[in-house]
Each structure stands twice: as C-alpha cells, then as structure tokens.
Amino acid sequence: MRKLLYLTFSMALVAALTTYAMWAADRPAGHYLSDLRISLAVDQGTPADRGNLLGIQPELFPTDYQSPERLHRKLAAYLQKAQDQGLLNDKTIVVLPEHVGTWLMVSGEKDELYQASTLQEAMNWLAASNPVQFIRALISAKGESRLDDAHLRMKAKSMAKDYQALFGGLAKEFHVTLVAGSIVLPEPSIRDGQLKIGHGALFNSSVVFDRDGVPIGQPQRQMHPIFNDQDTLAANTEQTINVIDTPAGRLGILIGSDSWYPDNYRKLDAQGAQLVAVPAYIVGHGTWDKPWGGYKGLSTPSSISLKPGEISEGDAWHRLTLTAQPPSSRAVAGVSVFLRGQFWDQGSAGHSFLSSNGQHAADGNDRGARLLNLWL
C-alpha cells in the first residue's frame, strides 16, 4: 500500500512539474492594438544647418513591450511622423525618456503578465514563468530589495541585446543621433562596440547611438537615484559625467534627478558641453501638480534654498533644471523628456520641456505622445 501511495504521489508530482514546465515555456502572442499617433507640441527656432534637439515623449503600455518588434513599430511611427514634418536631418539629436529600455524586462512574456492589475502581480508572473532565471538572479541579487533586484537582473543579458538592436537600429534607420533614454542593467559597459553586462550592482544608465547605430562612448550611469530606487539601484559614486561629440555639438546627459544638482552643470561646462539631454520619469497620476517632495533621501546642495512642499513638482523641475541659465550653465540648449503611459497600477506624470536662453517651453497635455523640437 505504501509503495502504491509513493508511486501515485511520484506520478502526480512528475505530471505537475511537466505541466508547469510546458506552461512556463509557452509564450503565445496576444492580440495587439496600439495608438501610433503623436503630436508636435513645441517647435521653436528657425531651421538652419546647425541641427536640432528633438524630444520624443512616448505614451507606452505593457503590451508595447510584448516584443522588441512591437516597441520598434511604435517608436518608428513617432520618428516617421517627425521625418514627415521635416524635423529629422543628419545633425538631429533625438532624446527618449528614462526607463524606456528598462521595461524590456517584460518582453516575450505570457498574456497573464500583461493582463495583471498591479505591478506586483505582473512581477509575480515574471518570476513564475521564468523559474530558473529568477532563482539564479535571486542568488546573485544585491542591495536591500533583493526581489526587485532579481526581477531586473534575471533577463539582463537579453535586455542589453534587445536595447542595442532596437535603439541602435532606430538611429541607423532614421540616420539620427539617438539618446536612448535609460535602461537598468548590472554594471553596463561598451566593449568592442557592444553593450555588455557585468555581475555587480544595478545601474540606471543611458547609451547614445550615432547615425550608423553604433554606441558613442560609455553608458552614462545615474549618480543620484531617488529614495524609492536606492534600495535597488547603485549610484555612480565616481561622479563621472560623459560629454560626447555629436554633429550638432558636444552633448551631456543627466538622468532624472541628476539634473537637480548645480555641480553637475559645472562639470558639463568644464568639458565644453553645449547641449544637455535629461531623460526623466515620474511615477503617479497628477504628481506633476502635487507639492514637490524635495531631494527624497538625497543630500540637498548647499546652493539650493527650495524646501519640500513650497512649490509643485513641475515647478521644481523647471527651477532645478539649469540648462541654458547662465552662469549656472553655459550650455546652449537642453531638453527634458518624460515617459508617459500606464504600467499596470503605476501611472505616470511629467510634462516634457525645452530649455534655451534661460527659458522653458513645455508641453501642457496630460495624455498622448508628444514631439518637442528646438532648432539650434
């Protein structure tokens, strides 16, 4: 009797494991509809031979990330609209928002993940349908939030490959210099022209691709991740800011809250930066109009007198982003681009804006994809 029970249990266990393995391996492609429309919200300056800064504020959702091909379709539609309006040329610098590459972590997953009602539920599906990758990532996870680290780390190799193929491909396809927002990867670096990952801490980083789709320089790592990211993301403690040569001038990148620090602009000035790109992302519906939360666990620069709650989040971004505001910054122009859309229960906020001659020109719409163009 005991042998029979043991045999029955073993057979049931094998059947359950086989069913689970088949379920985890199945990746059906769900039905996909996406709004490919984008509007020109701001168009400043006069076309000349000096090029232009073009910020693309996309509106993205989890289903846009079901495959790199789907994300390419949407971003290519935005760039095609810009091209049709005469906004692309050999000296154009296109800037995409923060974390536009990070969500590649959910590419190629099961329908249950995209249909989840909360981000936590989606991450549970991500782990459940990739058990071996998740366990490996959990073992090597860093920081205080090991689960979040594992979710971001578990597909890092394929994320890096897809990121370069997608955004490098777009740069080559439309023959522009492309600031590819940002992506979270473990110790990213460019080696022999390829984006590679390491085994250490996670960094929120941005890569620039030239008109041939080739990475320029090394990834710019974020120096000041805000408090709700600090348990997962490492800070670039070397305080290194890369300034790269582009056909439109020398370009520096400040990711998100890095743009709040006056010292960063001084470092850009010291390297002769003429243009500044700020890929950004704000979580939560209506956050732009809510009271500013301050530096959120980071040290406040001595030259900053703003106090939390004194002004709105949006006003703080306009006050703290010092591009083209002499003597704080000697850059000619800059653009701050925010990621918009809905990722499960995580809404988004932020109105992208251009900076030139100490003035900001912003998009005031809460919904929809937007183009913001500044002729140099």
pLDDT at 221: 95
Amino acid 252 reads G
User: What residues in the chain have per-residue pLDDT under 50?
Assistant: 4-5, 7, 9-24
Strand spans (E) along 144-228: 177-179, 183-186, 189-191, 194-196, 202-209, 215-221
pLDDT at 302: 83
Secondary element (H or E) of residue 297: none
What's the pTM value of the predicted model, to 2 decimals? 0.90
Q: Which residues pair with 70 in a beta bridge?
A: none
Give 53's contacts (C-beta < 8 A, 6+ positions apart).
Answer: 93, 95, 248, 275, 277, 333, 334, 335, 354, 373, 374, 376
pLDDT at 2: 55
Is 189 in a helix, a strand, or coil? Answer: strand
Separation between Cα atoms, residue 15 and residue 13, nearest integer Å: 5
CB 182 within 8 A of CB 206: yes
Separation between Cα atoms, residue 207 and residue 203, nearest integer Å: 12
What are the boundaries of each domain within the chain?
Answer: 40-107+162-375
Is 7 in a helix, a strand, or coil? Answer: helix
Produce one character per residue of 254-290: b if its CB has 16 or more CB atoms within 10 Å, e if not.
Answer: bbbbbbbbbebbebbbeeebbbbbbbbbbeeeebbee
Q: What is the pLDDT of residues 48-83, one digit of tens each?
A: 899 999 999 999 999 999 999 999 999 999 999 999
Helix axes 131-139, 119-128, angle to 10 degrees: 100
pLDDT at 296: 76
Separation between Cα atoms, residue 153 and residue 136, nearest integer Å: 9
Q: Domain 40-107+162-375 is in which class? A: alpha beta
Separation between Cα atoms, residue 226 and residue 229, nearest integer Å: 6
| Number of neighbouring beta carbons within 10 Å of residue 331 | 25
pLDDT at 23: 41
Separation between Cα atoms, residue 39 and residue 241, nearest integer Å: 32
